[in-house]
A and B are shown apart, each in its own frame.
Chain A
Amino acid sequence: MKKKILIVDDEPNIIMSLEYTFKKNNFEVFIARDGQEALDILESQIPNVIILDVMMPNVDGYATLEAVRKEEKLNNCKVIFLSAKNKESDIQKGMDLGANAYMTKPFSLKKLIDKVNDLL
């Protein structure tokens, strides 16, 4: 069965690259433009991995992760932050909230795929 991945980002061009790459790597891809949309999708889907941007309109990435970690059925979801915020404190905060990894933008698609595969 195909692994499921949820990509949460507000930049259409970045989404496009991510979507193409993960589809090519045999993932079933879901896309959300902000935290709210992501949480809506998570009502009905339990993805294996969530790629999460931090700075987004409405519900930001940190808040999204907090909501995810409260949901029991999403316990096995791996969450990778993918953000241009690269300060030590930002990364620490993401990890403290329960992320499995934190990658900074700009990023290498290859390394991202490796990270996702590692986590699974």
Chain B
Amino acid sequence: MSSVGLIAILLFYLAFLFLIAHWAEKKDNVKWTNNAYVYSLSLAVYCTAWTYYGSIGVAANSGLTYLPIYLGPVIAIPAWIIILRKIIRISRVNNVSSIADFISLRYGNSRFLGAVVTVVSMAAILPYIALQLKAISETFHIVTQVPHNSLMLLDTTTYVAVALALFASYYGTRYVDASEKRKGIITAVAMESILKLVFFFIVGIYVTYFVFDGFQDVYDKASVLKDFENKNVIGGIEPAINWFFLCVVSLFAIFLLPRQFHTAVVENNRERHIKTAIWLFPLYLLAFNLFVFPIAWGGNVLFEGENVNADTYSLLIPQMFHNDFLATLVFLGGFSAAISMIVVSSISLSTMLSNNLLIPYTFLGKLKDKDQVVNNKTIVNIRKVGIFLLIILSYLIYRLFVLDYNLVSIGLVSFVIISQLAPSFFGALFWRRGSRLGAIWGIIIGFFICMYTLLLPYASGISNHDNSFLLNGPYGIELFKPFALFGLDYLSPVPHAFFWSLLFNTMIYFAVSVSFKGNYRERNYAEMYIDIDKYSTNHETAFVWKGTAYTSDIEKVLIKFLGEERTKRALNIFNVKYNVDQNQELADARLIKFAENLLTGHIGTASAKILISSVVKEEKITLPEVLKILEESNENIIINKKLVETSTELKRITHQLQLANETLVKKDKQKDEFLDTVTHELRTPITAIRAASEILIDDDEIPDELRRQFLQNIISESDRLNRLIDKILDLEKFETGKQKINPTRNDLVETITKTIEPLQQLIKNKGITVYFENNKSIKTVYDEDRIIQVLTNLLSNAIKFCPETEGLITLTISDKIDFWEISVMDNGKGINPIDFENIFNKFYQSDNQNIKKPIGSGLGLAICKQIVELHKGKIWAQNNNGAGACFTFTLPK
């Protein structure tokens, strides 16, 4: 394939990634980008070009040694659920944006320690990025079959590197606050993780099933090669120890590599995403290894005796069969693996470079005097230039130094260097006594041992003139031979360097920490890190600080970096959270910690502390004082928690009281309405009686017939008055529970017949047919007089509502196993469904207006309900399919 063609494909591919990143930044797509799968896949940034090509090289040349790089993380991942969660919590609470922030903050927010961590990370990662560029460059030349040009400016891969640097510096610096999430980049990385795995699978399947006849065939053909046996067993205790150390080194790397810290911690949106990652990520690593062995040994079989770089088997095999398309796909997969590593690493490195080295040591003074717009621009530019220069610098390192090394060796050197952070990093999580000095000296000494046992020999290997240094040690001192320090000669260089550097590092960390007391700030953060669960919602209270500070001074500093609006908003949140008066002049420890946190994302923890310290006057506190204050604040937290509990309890009770009150008010209103209606009902017959009496007394000429009629009216209205009073008293007795029922064994059919009897005349007058058919007797227990009262009421209603002609009332009794169901149906106009429930309330009037006259006394159904309920039955009303009303009540058997 021509260079131009491949460049075009690459540009197209980069444009596609740009698009993905751009798409992911949009708010509407948040559910696609903010989920556990994108998170888990972004962790696969671990699998770089080194994995993609280098594993095959190692498997082909030295057999099983490629495995520990994957076994280490797989062993570590189950512990994530505890450790990673803790790291994420600490980082979120303190706005940590890199591993340098994380470590330096714990050891008393130390500017120097942050710088040390940054330098160590750069030393570890720059060659690693160089390695990726090397992979891109070499494979580019293989695919295009153009030789590598020793003049850098004429070599096309130079321009690929520049394009990459531009892409990363553009997308990596979208936010001034480094602890913000970069959804675009992360989604693009997750996408690339899918692509590189898919392409690797495709070539794996191609080699295994198209070039060969399946796994068995590869094995059969490979197993006759010499050294096959040799390379594919662990073979004794010494290689086993080598193996073990390689596992441990990669176990550390999965926590400590800046790009892993960035994807796993800084870009974590939800703690629960870890739950998906702990199965998906190991599965991904496993899948990546499935075809390493067949490709490696397939390559060994195909290229037996030829001098080819085994790293590039996955490209060479398709090319051998003239499958250019497949070779290009493989190249794109490797390209993906490389650029995700390059982009994420350079972002995290440039954040450290700006926040932990450049700003606190050089730019801070300048930033202090400028306003927000200028400051943000400066910060972003520092990072932008940082990312660009880091990638270009790596490219130079590749061109000048690492041209000759294979992928894995450089990668492992990186791992060993970054492992120097392990003692202080894990110590930060679990050991209260770990001190700043211990951390600094541990890392520095460990780093120097690495230099001596790894970098120096490699560097001298390049210049290639001083081999006696390697073979005999400096000045011929055997004990200091770089690959066999203190006579330890059975470890290969990488585990060897790892063993000695980490041994010294850890011992110094412990020894110094125990021997020299740290200052109070270290102890303060130790408490906050280790007991993060206790402080995760109000960590500001755990910060110990004594002195004088003014809110207005702190506000001024904040405005310089956050701008007026964000500062006001943040301070408001703070005031609400801690119930602080808005006009509070003096700032307390909580506000100082809060302000430091706000600044941390922009300029790093150390600079944030320096800035805030410059506007406040801090008094020295002794260590015992810190411990006392911490204890008190702990008690305060407990008291606070109790107060909150009490106040919720109070709220609950208040709510209940309110409800009770509302019920009472409602009841009171009902009572008023009831009285209103009762008096109205009582006045009506009295009015009739009074009017008739007035006529009788005043009018002597009244005809006899009429006189009799008026007297008759007086009698019937008096009776009505009396019945009404009876009913009111009845209801009152039922409602207050004074009325008892007197259940005896009776026959329901007989009771119903008894009820109909006195109403016969009325029924006849209105021409109504009553249908009731039930021959056998139904014996059950109830108070017969009361049930007759209920039935009379229902029947009277039914008679009243029957149409004037062809009225029909149907009475039924149904057996419902546990109870009897008695229904009275008429064929009138039915009931408005909204009245079904309220119809049994006393004096209920439809429409809920008290100006419409109720029909009947308005008490009958209320009494029925009371009686039925005293029998432990139910009563309800419904409509009879548009053909009249139906009242039903039940009597338990």
Asked if B699 is at the interface (CB within 8 A of a chain A CB), the reply is yes
**How many angstroms between the C-alpha atoms of A105 and B683 in the bound complex?**
7
B-side contacts of A13, CB under 8 Å: 688, 691-692, 713, 716-717
**How many angstroms between the C-alpha atoms of A13 and B852 in the bound complex?**
19
Asked if B680 is at the interface (CB within 8 A of a chain A CB), the reply is yes
B-side contacts of A120, CB under 8 Å: none
Shortest Cβ distance from residue B834 to the other chain A in the assembled complex, whole angstroms? 17
Asked if A60 is at the interface (CB within 8 A of a chain B CB), the reply is yes
Q: Are A84 and B680 in contact (CB under 8 A)?
A: yes
Nearest CB to that of A62 among chain B residues? Answer: B851
Q: Are A17 and B695 in contact (CB under 8 A)?
A: yes
Q: Which of B684, B686, B688, B716 contacts A17 (CB 8 A)?
A: B688
B-side contacts of A21, CB under 8 Å: 691, 695
Given A87-B676, A105-B687, A20:B852 Cβ within 8 A: no
Q: Are B851 and A106 in contact (CB under 8 A)?
A: no
A-B Cβ contacts below 8 A, count: 78
Given A13-B692, A16-B713, A109-B695, A85:B852 Cβ within 8 A: no
A-side contacts of B688, CB under 8 Å: 11, 13-14, 17
Q: Which of B687, B710, B852 contacts A60 (CB 8 A)?
A: B852
**How many angstroms between the C-alpha atoms of A13 and B710 in the bound complex?**
8
Q: Mark A95-110, 1 if CB is under 8 A from B, else 0.
A: 0000000000111111
List A residues 49-86 near B (Cβ within 8 Å): 54-58, 60-62, 84-85
B-side contacts of A54, CB under 8 Å: 851
Nearest CB to that of B849 among chain A residues? Answer: A60
Count chain A CB atoms within 10 A of each CB in B689, B695, B698 and give the residue with the most. B695
A-side contacts of B692, CB under 8 Å: 13, 16-17
B-side contacts of A56, CB under 8 Å: 852-853
List B residues 660-705 near A (Cβ within 8 Å): 676, 679-680, 683-684, 686-692, 694-695, 698-699
Asked if B477 is at the interface (CB within 8 A of a chain A CB), the reply is no
A-side contacts of B224, CB under 8 Å: none
B-side contacts of A105, CB under 8 Å: 683-684, 686-687
Q: Are B713 and A85 in contact (CB under 8 A)?
A: no
**How many angstroms between the C-alpha atoms of A58 and B852 in the bound complex?**
7
Q: Are B687 and A107 in contact (CB under 8 A)?
A: yes
Given A13-B717, A62-B851, A106:B695 Cβ within 8 A: no
Q: Which of A16, A57, A107 contacts B709 (CB 8 A)?
A: A16
Q: Are A106 and B691 in contact (CB under 8 A)?
A: yes
- Range of interface residues on B (Cβ < 8 Å): 20 to 34
A-side contacts of B659, CB under 8 Å: none
**How many angstroms between the C-alpha atoms of A105 and B686 in the bound complex?**
8
Q: Which of A18, A57, A85, A106 contacts B686 (CB 8 A)?
A: A106
Asked if B706 is at the interface (CB within 8 A of a chain A CB), the reply is yes
Shortest Cβ distance from residue B722 to the other chain A in the assembled complex, whole angstroms? 15
A-side contacts of B679, CB under 8 Å: 84
Nearest CB to that of A59 among chain B residues? Answer: B852
A-side contacts of B851, CB under 8 Å: 54-55, 60-62, 85
Q: Are B853 and A109 in contact (CB under 8 A)?
A: no
B-side contacts of A84, CB under 8 Å: 679-680, 683-684, 687
A-side contacts of B676, CB under 8 Å: 85, 87
Q: Mark B841-869, 1 if CB is under 8 A from A, else 0.
A: 00000000111110100000000000000
Asked if A24 is at the interface (CB within 8 A of a chain B CB), the reply is yes
Nearest CB to that of A82 among chain B residues? Answer: B687
Nearest CB to that of B686 among chain A residues? Answer: A106
Q: Are A14 and B691 in contact (CB under 8 A)?
A: yes
Shortest Cβ distance from residue A94 to the other chain B in the assembled complex, whole angstroms? 11
**How many angstroms between the C-alpha atoms of A73 and B691 in the bound complex?**
32
Shortest Cβ distance from residue A111 to the other chain B in the assembled complex, whole angstroms? 10
Shortest Cβ distance from residue B671 to the other chain A in the assembled complex, whole angstroms? 15
Q: Can you report 8 A-B residue pairs in the complex whose CB atoms are below 8 A from each other?
A: A24-B699, A54-B851, A57-B853, A84-B679, A85-B851, A106-B690, A106-B691, A107-B690
Chain B residues with CB under 8 Å of chain A are 676, 679-680, 683-684, 686-692, 694-695, 698-699, 706, 709-710, 713, 716-717, 849-853, 855
Closest CB pairs A-B (n = 8) = A17-B691, A84-B683, A13-B688, A105-B687, A106-B687, A106-B690, A13-B713, A60-B851
Q: Apart from A13-B691, A105-B684, what 9 extra A-B contacts exist at CB < 8 Å?
A: A16-B713, A17-B710, A21-B691, A55-B850, A56-B853, A57-B852, A57-B855, A85-B851, A106-B686
